[in-house]
Each structure stands twice: as C-alpha cells, then as structure tokens.
Structure 1
Amino acid sequence: MALFHTHTLSNGLRIAAEIDHRCYSAALGYFVHAGSRNETDGESGLSHFLEHMMFKGTESRSAADVNRELDELGGNSNAYTSEEQTVYYATVLPKFQDRLVELLTDMLSPSLEEHEFQTERKVILEEIAKYEDQPPFGAFERAMEIHFGPRGLGRRVLGTKESIESMEASTMRDYFNRRYRPDNIVVAASGNVDFDGLVEALEKQTKPWSDRSAPPPRNPDDTNSLPVGIDVDPILKVDELAQSYLIQMNRGPSMASEDRFASRILASILGDEGGSRLFWELIDTGRAETATVWPQEFADCGAWFTYLVCEKSDLTLNKKLIQDIMTRTAEQGVTNEELEQAVNKATAACIMQSERPGNRLFSIGSRWLTQSEYISTDEMLENFRSLDQQKIAAAAAEYLTPQPTTEVIVSDGIEGDC
C-alpha cells in the first residue's frame, strides 16, 4: 500500500512523497515555481532557457560530467518547462537514490557561465525556428496570447526570437536567484523511496540555498504595448498551405475546480481519437483530418480548446458542425453508454499510470507545488467513478454553451475562412 509523507526543511523547501516499497524503482523530481507566466517582457523564454542551462555544469561538475552521471544511473531522466513550473526529474533503481539526490541537487546550483549561455542561446533560437516552421505554425501560442493576453499565462514558454536574442546572462542570474529559492520549490518522490534518507540528504545538501542573494527589483512591463515579436492577429497566413487549421478557446476548469473530472470525461466523449462524437461526425466521414477538444487546467483558471484540421473549403461547414455538436451536447447531455465508456477509459489509464512511479511523480509534484494537495490513485478513481449524467450535463452547460471567446485560423488566405 502506498503511503504519503510530507516534510518542510528548515530553509522552507517542501518534500512530498508517495512511498510504495513494492515498487522496483524510485522517481524523484525538483518542481520549481518558475514558468512563463512568472516572467517579464525582458525575461520572456527565460524559464525554459534556464532549464537548458541546468545541464551545463556546476562548480563541481562539467556539462559532460552531469550527462555522464545521469547515464550511469540508468533509468530515465529529463526536464521540461510549462507556463507555471519547471521540472527536473529522473527514475532510478532504489539503490541509486542517494546518488540521484546529490546529482540533481548539485544541478540546481548551475554555473551559468557566459560561454555556455551564448552557446545555448543558439540552441534555443534553433528550437524556436524549428517549432514555428511546423504546423500549425505557432497557432496555439497565438491563441493563448489572444485569450489570456500576451503576458502571464499567455506568454510563450519558448519566448520569441527577439527576446532570446536580446537576453543577457546577468538577467538569467537574477531570475535564478529570484525563482530558485527553497520556499519556491517542491521535491517530489514516488515509488520505493527511503523517505528519512531523502529528508536528511536534502536538509544538508540544500542548506546553502538560503544564502542565494536577493536580486534587484524588476522593471515593470509596459502594458500599453505588445511585447517585442508578438502579434495578436487571429489570422495566420502561411504560403502554399495544403490545409486550414482552426483553434478555438473558451474558459475551462482550474486545477482546483470540482468539475475538472467531469470536464475531462466530457472531452473524451466529444473528442477522443476513436468513438467520440467529433470522430464519427468529422473524422470517420472524411470531413476533417483532426477534430478534437480538451480542457487545460492551470493553478487558478483553465481553458477549453477546440482543434480542427481540414481542407480550406470545408472549414466553414466543419466549424458549424462542431458548434452544433457542442450545443446539442449542452442541451441534451450524454448517454449513459457514452459516460460508462469514457469513465472506463479514464480509470484504466489512471490505474496503468499508477503502476509506474515515474508517471505518478508528475501528479504528486505538480499538485503539491500549485495546490498543496495530494490525491491518491484510489481518490482519483473515485472522482471518475462518482460521475453521473447530471454532472456531465452541468459541465457541458458551463463550458460548451458560450461561443468561443478566442479563434485563430491558419490558412493560405483569409477569403472564405470565417
């Protein structure tokens, strides 16, 4: 049976662990409250840039040492940055717990050397260029910028070409000292973990973090103008485009909302890859290549996405078909058969995910970082199994009936797109 333990170190760093000694592996991650919504215009893309720099060496390890030791530990290791957090994680055999803790903790005190900064800047710029050259050509970022505004949740995780080119290493160091403080970080663990050993090691190894110097105040953004490199035109014109891409956004449930589970099930019924209402109406009939919906939850708010890919000539009709399906669902609800099928899919996925400590880690760490809350697998399953048609109908009425507040179209022209 899995047991949940928490502890707060003397420096304010929080530890949250779901321990199950029946597991064959142990997963550990640093969850840092540092994402694109925490940046200013001059820092746009810095959270993600800094994530890269964590692998470029420390006072005691070179970049080659960091990557070699991660390989020596085996298992799986990586990092990612989102709108609200940056996460560094790894899954190893339990016997390597101490080595992993020491390595990840050391990585979170990076050298941030100027030459590594300049080298990695080129990597980030190549990543931005590569992403912007792939369908749907930055449309999701454009939709977020229009829906939430170009700052806060609407700020691009990668930043822009302009923000990365103008960024200085000193700005990164200040941002690091501001966001990478013990009381702004959660260490999450799952699986076959020695919790007492974890607490003892972290108490000792993160003690110097309290001495990180406080950076100077940041210059406020000029909210009367757009950040450099940002455009909020809802039409993205791309030459020689074979298909049209449509992204619609509306409000959705937050991570704290009680109807987030109903919304996930509703999204499955409407837009699952196979057997959903949009699948049978648009995909199976050949009207569209992609037609799906999903909710995206943030700490204090949420969004409801609709995504359509089809021939330009079919865009107007397909938009109407999707809206008709949404309206009909909000007015008539879902069938018991649809609900049962969607719940079975969700609970099966939840159970399979819980079998791997590396999968459970993200749910534990993200939720403790943003909500200071733990939800066990059994509680998660009960949240899905307790749903009924009335709860799904309420979520449908809440999130499907309003017309989309944000719409972005990618096409080779605007005539006939709307």
Structure 2
Amino acid sequence: MVTTHTCENGLRIVSEHIPHFRSVAVGVFVKAGSRDETPEENGITHFIEHMLFKGTETRTAKQIAREFDRIGGDINAYTSKEYTCYYAKVLDHHAEHAVRVIADMFFNSVMDPAEIDKERQVVLEEISMTEDMADDDVHEQLWRVMYPRHSIGAPILGTAETLPRFTKEKITEFMDRFYTPENTVVSIAGNITPHVIKVVEELFGSFRKKETPKIHLLPDFSSGFSFKKKDTEQGHLCLGYPGLSLNDPDIYSLSVLNNILGGSMSSRLFQEIREERGLAYSVYSYHSAYSDHGTLAIYGGTADEQIPELQEVILQSLETMRKQGLGQEEVLDSKEQLKGNLMLGLESTSSRMSRNGKQELMLGRHQEYDEILSLIDAVSMEKVESLLSLISGQPAVSIIRSKEASS
C-alpha cells in the first residue's frame, strides 16, 4: 500500500512497505527539468545533477562513491524535461545510511568553483558523445523541430555555448528557485521500517525555502523538418506527432495504440518493415507524456540510401491504419501486453519507488494497480481508433544521413 505524508514544510514523503523484499530504493524527486530553464540557462538542471555528486562539507566525491560500493548499493541520478531524480538502492539494513548520504548531497553540496570548471568538461564530453551517436542525436533534432520556440524542445544536456555560464552563483540562484519543499518528493519502497521514515522526515521535513511561482507556457507543436549530415554508415529517421498529456483520460487508449503501431515485436511497423521487408533492424514508436502535452514519435534506422523508402513505408503504414482501422484481436493483445508490463514492474523496488515518486510529483495522486488494470480493460477499439487522428496531420521530421547523401 502506498502512503503519502506531507511534512510541516510542505515536502511529501511517499512510502510503500514491501516486507518480502530485502532491498530498499529511495529517490528524491525535484520538479525542475530542462523546460524550466531560460535559453541562457539551458542545461543547468542537468549540470546541478552532476554537481551534487562532487562533494559535500563532510564527504568528497570519492567518499560518496565508496560508501555505496562498500555496502553493495547503487546511487545515481537523472534529469528529464520536467523533473530531476536522485536515487539509491541498497539492502534493507543499509536504508538509513543511504537516506543520510543523499540528504547530505541534497543540502550540503559545496559547489566548489574548481569542481564546476572540471565538470563543465565532463558534460561537454557527454554532449559530444550524444552527438556522435546518430541514433540518439536524431531524437534530439526531432525535439528541436517539434518545439523550436519552447524550452521543452531544447536539449537536456545544454550546449557548448551555455555551459560556460554556469557559475556557483547561477547554480545557487536556480536551486533557490526550484529546490524547495513544495517542489520536492521523497519516495521510498521496499522492506522499510518506521524508523527509516522518521529519519527521512527529520532530514527533509524541516528545510525551508520560499516557493517561487512558476509559469509553464503550453508547448506549440511544429511540423518542421531537420536534415543533418554526419559521418555514419547508417541513416536515421524520426517522425513526431502531437500526443496526450499525463492527465488525459485517454492516455491508456493511446498506450494501446502505440503498442499496435510500433511498441512491440508484433506491432504493425516492426512486422511490416523488419519482418516482411527486411528494411531496417531497428524500428519502433513511443509516447512521451508530460504535465500539459505529449508526443508520439517513430524511429527507424536503415542503410543510408534506404532512408527515403523507409519514410515512405512508415507513412503508408500509418495511412493504412487510418483507412482500414484496427483489428479487435490486436487491440486485446495490446491491452494484455500493457497489463503484463505493469505487473512485471511490481517485482522491483526501484520501479515501485520511481513510479510512486513520479505520480506524486506530477499528478499529486496514486492509482491502485487494480484500478489501472480496470482502466486498461475498459479501453475500447472505438476509442483507440479515434486516436488515429493524432497521426493524420503533417509530422515533424528529423533525418541524419551520411555526408555524401542529399536531403
């Protein structure tokens, strides 16, 4: 059972006691992502994520790493477009120690200017690595095309131009704006004890920062085009369409449609493009849902000279789906797949912690698993087919091909 406790300072603690597990996963979720950045700040949220691992007033970066290695645990973090998460997974009897180390990083990171200078180079290498990987870069280019005038289309890592602007003062100012109690959720799942929850409240329930009003402008989807030449043997293609937000009542219907389109090995695109035509090794679709909008994207990678054919086949497949509709059996199969994925995720304390934390942070509510299964069962073929209208307009297109290719 998921329990939520709101501390006096407004911070929320979400816990799920799973006594038959021997592990505990804990995550600190902050509602601050790349969409919250100004153009000059692009990448600072991700940079802060890095800096919290670079040492506190009592621990060096090496000591933080060694403390988790010594207890056989893992600690990591990631930044998304709408939030940042710092998380750890340890054996249950090390849970309190994990909470204390993460709290130390969260509140006492020193942000040494010398370490900031070094970390700029680390992130610059991370940016270069992403740009070198064409199958990653093509997705970044797609987001730039879909949202050219909105921060949600900007890269989470930032750019070589923005990195030099991140000083200790800029970092502190950004954290003062977003790393506030009302903006933070601590999620913990596994074989937890009341004592561990008490420690979380003692460490996180008393800090105070003034909440700054945040205004999110609705992203305006654009059906533009991006073509990039790169020294690569394979070509890469992405198509993007508007999707649905996290709160949309049809979100499960769209998940069913995505499975049918390209979300599994039995999907339309996988069967047509890989199995029937042998046109690509990797082809899939995915839906990214955010607080106020969503995006449905399709990716395919193939021999460079076959990119035009790949794009044509994908568009033909979408047109066939719109004209002929869907089959009752594939809708039922997709629903079962969704339910299976959901239930298999219950076997991991990390996935439960992550799911609970994100739901509390982004939705402010929790759905019981039986409720979600009922919502998936209630998805009708008519509703799924009505969402085919999402892929009826002009898509955003991103293509990466070899330097010899023409657009």
TM over 0.5: yes
1:368 to 2:366 alignment: no
Task: Tell me the amino acid that sits aligned with residue 267 of structure 2.
Answer: S
Residue 250 (structure 1) aligns with: 241
CA drift of 1:368 comes to 0.8
Q: Secondary structure at the match of 2:367?
A: coil
CA drift of 1:320 comes to 2.4
CA drift of 1:29 comes to 0.5
1:250-288 Cα offsets, whole Å, 9 max, x none, are 100111112221212211112134222112211122122
Work out the CA distance in 2 between the residues paired with 1:66 and 1:353. 29
Q: Secondary structure at the match of 2:162?
A: helix
Task: Tell me the amino acid that sits aligned with residue 113 of structure 1.
Answer: D
Work out the CA distance in 1 between the residues paired with 2:287 and 2:131. 24
> In the alignment, which of 39, 43, 46 is matched to residue 45 of structure 1?
43
CA drift of 1:127 comes to 0.8
CA drift of 1:198 comes to 4.1
Work out the CA distance in 1 between the residues paired with 2:76 and 2:149. 28
1:386-405 Cα offsets, whole Å, 9 max, x none, are 223122212223x222221x
Change (3 A) 1:407 1:101: same
Matches within 5 A, 1:129-208: 129-136=128-135, 138-194=137-193, 196-206=194-204
1:161-183 Cα offsets, whole Å, 9 max, x none, are 11113332221121122211111
Change (3 A) 1:18 1:279: same
Change (3 A) 1:92 1:378: farther
Change (3 A) 1:182 1:197: same
Matches within 5 A, 1:7-86: 7-86=5-84
Q: Secondary structure at the match of 1:95?
A: helix
1:93-129 Cα offsets, whole Å, 9 max, x none, are 2222221221111110211111111111111111111
> In the alignment, which of 290, 303, 320 is matched to residue 295 of structure 2?
303
Residue 272 (structure 2) aligns with: 281
CA drift of 1:379 comes to 2.5
> In the alignment, which of 401, 404, 407 is matched to residue 411 of structure 1?
401
Work out the CA distance in 2 between the residues paired with 1:150 and 1:193. 45
Indicate conservation of the 8 Å contact 2:178/2:211, yes or no: no
> In the alignment, which of 382, 396, 401 is matched to residue 390 of structure 1?
382
Residue 262 (structure 1) aligns with: 253
1:337-395 Cα offsets, whole Å, 9 max, x none, are 21232222222221111011111111111111011011233223222232231222122
Residue 226 (structure 1) aligns with: none
1:238 to 2:237 alignment: no
Work out the CA distance in 1 between the residues paired with 2:149 and 2:167. 22
Task: Tell me the amino acid that sits aligned with residue 402 of structure 2.
Answer: D
Comparing 48-57 with 134-143, which one deviates more in the overlay? 134-143
Work out the CA distance in 1 between the residues paired with 2:243 and 2:399. 21
Change (3 A) 1:338 1:414: farther
Residue 227 (structure 1) aligns with: none
> In the alignment, which of 375, 378, 381 is matched to residue 373 of structure 2?
381
Q: Secondary structure at the match of 1:116?
A: helix
CA drift of 1:150 comes to 4.8
Indicate conservation of the 8 Å contact 1:141/1:156, yes or no: yes
Change (3 A) 1:368 1:167: same
CA drift of 1:159 comes to 0.2
Indicate conservation of the 8 Å contact 1:144/1:154, yes or no: yes
CA drift of 1:310 comes to 2.3
Work out the CA distance in 2 between the residues paired with 1:18 and 1:390. 36
Task: Tell me the amino acid that sits aligned with residue 73 of structure 2.
Answer: G
Q: How many pairs align? A: 396
CA drift of 1:59 comes to 1.3
Work out the CA distance in 1 between the residues paired with 2:250 and 2:319. 19
Q: Which blocks of at least 5 consecutive residues in structure 1 are unaligned?
A: 219-231
Q: Secondary structure at the match of 1:292?
A: strand
CA drift of 1:315 comes to 2.7
CA drift of 1:37 comes to 0.6
Work out the CA distance in 1 between the residues paired with 2:289 and 2:116. 33
Indicate conservation of the 8 Å contact 1:42/1:167, yes or no: no
The RMSD of aligned alpha carbons is 2.3
Q: Secondary structure at the match of 1:108?
A: helix
Change (3 A) 1:266 1:37: same
Comparing 323-332 with 295-304, which one deviates more in the overlay? 323-332
1:400 to 2:385 alignment: no
Matches within 5 A, 1:117-128: 117-128=116-127
